A and B are shown apart, each in its own frame.
Chain A
Amino acid sequence: MPEKTYQSDIKHSFYTPNSLRRKNIWLERLRWASTFSLTVFLILIYAFKIDIYPYASILSIILVLTVANTVFLIYLRKSPPTYLQREESIVLAQIAGDYVLLTALVHYTGGIDSPFSFFYVFHIIIASVIFEKKYPAFIIAIVSVLLYSGLTLFEYWKIVEHYGNGSRAFNIIDITFALSVFYVTIFASTYIGVTLMMRHKKVKNLIFTQKEELEKSEKEKMQFFRFVSHELKSPIIAVQSSINVVLDVMGKDLKKQAKDMLERGRKRTEQMIEILKDLVTISYDEKDEDHVPEMVVPCEHVPEVVDFYRPIAVEKNIKIVENICKQRRGFKLDKFLFEKIMTNLISNAVRYTPAGGTVTIKTDLDDDYWYLIISDTGIGIPKEEQKHIFEEFYRASNAKNFEQVGTGLGMSIIKRLVEQENGKINLESEVGKGSTFTVRFPLN
């Protein structure tokens, strides 16, 4: 099958080959349940000596079911799903096989008197759920009607033997009545199943379309963000550069008051540049960036980021404690994003820790995750504010007092980046004692 069909299947179909495969496996499991029930049924009629049914024939149906389903199980596990039509054919093959065996079972358990005749309905419901179009469910309904009517009439005409002690099998009025009820049941079920499913599909399509629209507008919003922040950056950078020159190059000729005012101006432009940088970062949509995750051994990158912050920490009289990261385990990760996450966490820790404090960087590994744990002896985050800390533009009340400049975007960026890499970030903090941020990434 050409690749193109496979692609268009995914786009327009209610199912994908993978989701239909799951349905196929589900059918196979249901069949194990029915095989088991049938075995219990056989044991019971044997135990209670109900000898109107041929034990050997029912046993052989169970055996055929077991063998066929085992073969099927192996096939489903060994051969991966490829395209939709193939999965649909597998569903059809399952239904066809089941109908043959079900008709045999109905035959051996009394034909028109068989308690199993209503089992034909199951497959009609399954077909109405699984098939994209309405007609397969109706075709299956017709097949079940033909099979059941054929069996009943063959028994009536004595073409095949009738099992059981009922006389209904040979009374044409009883047969007509029973078959009519059967037809109504079958076609009503088909109609109900198909109608419900169509409605369900419509709703799902609607949700899908709306989701696409939302994503599109979100993307446009981010592009606008990015455009605006790039545009704003150039002038503010020119402003800051000019102030820098006045203060740093000609500062000695300035009055103290003028110097102070320019210092204030420099602080505020710095703040604005930080905000703009954060806005640019936040506006980069993971989907339109081609950061390709590669195999990364994070322990190879931890020391360089830590070393970068050492001088800044020393200047603030903060100790950086780093446990030596030994794990050689690598996993798929975007190296750039990982470094950005680390950089942001460490710089935050250093920023909100008073002089004399400690920032500790640890890493850990278990069977499923790799952990990066960054703790500080800083100002901490009040309990009631912790849940907001990852929200955009949120700054904890004590953070504002401690450090005037800050955008409130840092933590939301970190969270975004972590989640982009399928990781999780977790915070433990106590005011006055410090904070611990734990980031974990799945190894697979």
Chain B
Amino acid sequence: MSRKIMIIDDDIDLVEAMRITLESDGYQVIDAQEGQKGLEILKKEKPDLLILDVMMGTLDEGFHLAYQIRNDEAIKDIPILMITAVGAQTGFEFDMQRDEDFLPVNEFIEKPVNPQVLLDSVKRNLPVA
């Protein structure tokens, strides 16, 4: 059975790009464009891995969502890859990556997403089946 990956991102084109990439490698992909809706689907579908956009409606909606997930017994073990375009300009990324206890996510991937980078990262973080 193919592994299930969920994408939560409000940019439909990015979702599509990631979906095609992931499907080409044999993953099953589900998605949501909005945080709370995504959380519901996440609880129902229990995917093997979650790809989450850091900035959706607000500057850090993705982070809040990640915290919610980590505090929910039923879904707290789902690995999270966070895609971010915050990158270099705020100083944000640097500190977060170092302070691992503080981090609710497993890995950061910078936008624009490079297919190979994405696939490698997914492979690395998927729990052993």
- A residues contacting B by CB (< 8 A) are 233-234, 237-238, 240-242, 244-245, 248-250, 269, 273, 277, 280-281, 284, 289, 291, 336, 339-340
Offer 19 A-B interface pairs, CB within 8 angstroms, sorted by A. A233-B85, A234-B85, A237-B14, A237-B111, A238-B13, A238-B14, A238-B17, A238-B112, A241-B111, A242-B13, A242-B17, A244-B17, A245-B17, A248-B115, A249-B20, A249-B21, A281-B89, A284-B89, A284-B90
- Tell me if B11 counts as interface (CB < 8 A to partner A): yes
- Tell me if B60 counts as interface (CB < 8 A to partner A): no
Main secondary structure, interface of B, reads helix
Main secondary structure, interface of A, reads helix
User: CA separation between A340 and B87, bound complex, in Å?
Assistant: 12
Chain A: minimal CB distance from B25 (Å) = 9
List the A residue with the shortest CB-CB distance to B94: A336
- Tell me if B24 counts as interface (CB < 8 A to partner A): yes
* Closest 6 pairs between A and B when the two form their complex, measured CB to CB: A240-B112, A238-B13, A241-B17, A336-B91, A248-B115, A280-B89
Instruction: Sort chain B's interface into a size bin.
Output: 20 to 34
Contact A234–B88 (Cβ < 8 Å): no
Please count the residue pairs between chain A and chain B whose beta carbons lie under 8 angstroms apart in the complex: 60
Contact B112–A248 (Cβ < 8 Å): no
| Chain B positions within 8 Å of A248 at CB level | 21, 114-116
Contact A244–B113 (Cβ < 8 Å): yes
List the B residue with the shortest CB-CB distance to A291: B91
List the B residue with the shortest CB-CB distance to A234: B11
List the B residue with the shortest CB-CB distance to A336: B91
- Tell me if B40 counts as interface (CB < 8 A to partner A): no
| Chain A positions within 8 Å of B14 at CB level | 237-238, 241
Contact B88–A281 (Cβ < 8 Å): yes
What sequence of 0s and 1s flags, for each residue 29-50 of chain B, a beta carbon within 8 Å of any chain A beta carbon? Answer: 0000000000000000000000
| Chain B positions within 8 Å of A277 at CB level | 87-89
Chain A: minimal CB distance from B4 (Å) = 19
Known A-B contacts A281-B88, A336-B91; the reply to A245 vs B112 at CB < 8 A is no
List the B residue with the shortest CB-CB distance to A273: B112
Contact A237–B115 (Cβ < 8 Å): no
